[in-house]
Copies of this chain bind each other. A is one copy, B any other.
Amino acid sequence: MPTLDPSARPLQGVTVLDLSRVLAGPFCTMVLAQLGARVIKVERPGAGDDSRAFGPFKNGKSLYFSSINYDKETIALDLKQPADRAIFEDLLTISDVVVENFRPGTMEKLGYGWDTLHAKYPSLVYGAASGFGDSGPYSRRAAYDMVVQGMGGIMSMTGQPDSPPTRVGVSIGDLAAGLYLAIGLVAAIQKRSRGGGATKVDIAMLDCQLPLLESALAAFAALGEIAQPNGSRHPEIAPFQAYRTADAYVVIAAGNDHLFALMAQALGRPDMLENPNYKTNTLRHSNVDALEDDLEKTLRKRPTQDWLDALNAAGVPCGPVNNVSRLFQDPQVAARDMLVSIDDPVIGKLTVAGNPFKMSGVAEPSTRRAPPEVDGDRAAILALIGR
């Protein structure tokens, strides 16, 4: 790989050949693109990535697909046809990384399993994301996000007490796997550059749920405690939840006695500091229902913005419960360039999440490529392999 200038994005010069579809894999390769990698997406001819058919749509183009496939190039190849296989194999020779999220066994059936690829392309790093990974009794099962959210425990901890099962409102099964795969692949690239050779990184969506459960695993094993859903409340800390105001809700996170004292003053409730039930976090947590009633008695008298002003002035961690519309108006989001617009020939103005990697000396790219149509970069990609 080429040496880098201090102003370069860290994966500049890294080429990723991306067979992945829908979410976990494309989310991973979007992260790699944000870090500067060149991502070449390989799609099946015709329909392409399944998620091109997923709503919502604007002018017939999928916003689901578009949100995680900008800044990528794409070529359509049928990996069962000899001519297209030859192109694919030439692309493997110029790639540093191949990424896929098929069911385990699919790449082997195509003749592109890890053992085969590693023998023929010894410096190629291989990344796979699947529901259950390439070992274990469920390995060959398909899984979607909902299956993993249910099986992995996070749904059992999310929701209101006694409500029906509640999913995390985003596809955290896929997204967590995509992030773990990105970490593993960058680490593997780094290992290769230190002489350790190429590696296959095998990431299972189910596996990635377990580290997200924080102390719930240790608490069950050591104490027999089974974590339960608890609305907006933190399992151990109080006050640390969303409270009703005159017009909406306010989140207050007074994580220690000092912040609790600042909060009580800011809300004009110094009497709370004299209440023996609120002396320590342990006591406040034991009396969390009474504390909620007591706080809401005050908070319901004024609108959320008034309370945010008072609490922020006092240095108490707090915030609104923003929906997407309010998030678009947040000045911090704007200041951090976390909403980015791309001119798309079909959609018009496409708005996507910005790049969360803020790196010293590395400028944000001034333009971004629109999400491509199927086979949209064929000529440029073929030119890379002299065709």
Q: Is the CB of B220 within 8 A of A324?
A: yes
Considering the chains assembled together, what is the distance between the CA atoms of A6 and B220 in angstroms? Answer: 37
A336 at the interface (CB under 8 A from B): yes
On chain B, the residues within 8 Å of A160 by CB distance are 159-160, 163-164, 166
Any chain B CB within 8 A of the CB of A91? no
Chain B residue nearest in CB terms to A28: B183
Nearest Cβ on chain B to A247's Cβ, whole angstroms = 14
A229 close to B (CB within 8 Å)? yes
A110 at the interface (CB under 8 A from B): no
| Cβ contacts under 8 Å, A231 to chain B | 164-167
Complex Cα distance, B318 from A196, in Å, reads 39
Which of B56, B226, B255 has a CB less than 8 Å from the CB of A325? Answer: B226
A 40-77 to B, binary, CB cutoff 8 A, 1 in contact else 0: 00000000001000111010000110111000000000
Query: Which stretch (A80-88, A144-152, A271-279) binds chain B?
Result: A144-152
Choose from B3, B63, B159 the contact partner of A215 (Cβ within 8 Å).
Answer: B63
Given contacts A166-B166, A315-B142, contact A357 B201 (CB under 8 A): yes
Q: Judging by beta carbons under 8 Å apart, are A150 and B320 in contact?
A: yes
Considering only CB atoms, which chain B residue lies closest to A321 in the complex? B150
A236 contacts B336, C-beta separation under 8 Å: no
A180 and B356 CA atoms in complex are apart in Å by 8
Given contacts A222-B63, A338-B210, is CB(A169)–CB(B356) below 8 Å? no
Q: Does A116 contact B (CB under 8 A)?
A: no
List the B side residues contacting A206 at CB < 8 Å. Answer: 332-333, 336, 338
B317 near A143 (CB under 8 angstroms)?
Answer: yes
Q: A3: which of B150, B169, B195, B222 is its contact (CB, 8 Å)?
A: B195
Does A63 contact B1, Cβ atoms closer than 8 Å?
Answer: no
A191 touches B324 (CB 8 A): no
- Which residues of A231-245 are within 8 A (CB) of B? 231-234, 236-237, 240-242, 244
Within 8 A of B (CB), among A168-192: 168-172, 175-176, 179-180, 182-184, 186-191
Roughly how many angstroms separate A241 CA and B150 CA in the complex, as a whole number? 9
Select which of B136, B211, B225, B362 is within 8 A of A335 by beta carbon. Answer: B136
| A265 contacts the other chain (CB 8 A) | no
Q: Roughly how many angstroms separate A30 CA and B197 CA in the complex, as a whole number? A: 24
- Minimal Cβ-Cβ distance residue in B for A56: B219
Contact A8 B191 (CB under 8 A): yes
Contact, CB under 8 Å: A255 / B166: no
> Does A112 sit within 8 A of B, measured CB to CB?
no
A136, B172: Cα distance in complex, Å: 28
A168, B63: Cα distance in complex, Å: 24
Contact A251 B199, beta carbon cutoff 8 Å: no
A144 to B259, CA, bound (A): 12
- Given A4-B196, A336-B135, A352-B218, residue A35 in contact with residue B187 (CB < 8 A): yes
Given A164-B242, A322-B153, A136 contacting B336 (CB threshold 8 A): yes
* Contact (Cβ within 8 A) A147 B226: no
Extra contacts, 4 of them, besides A58-B222, A63-B223, A164-B249 (Cβ < 8 A), are A35-B183, A144-B253, A153-B323, A165-B232
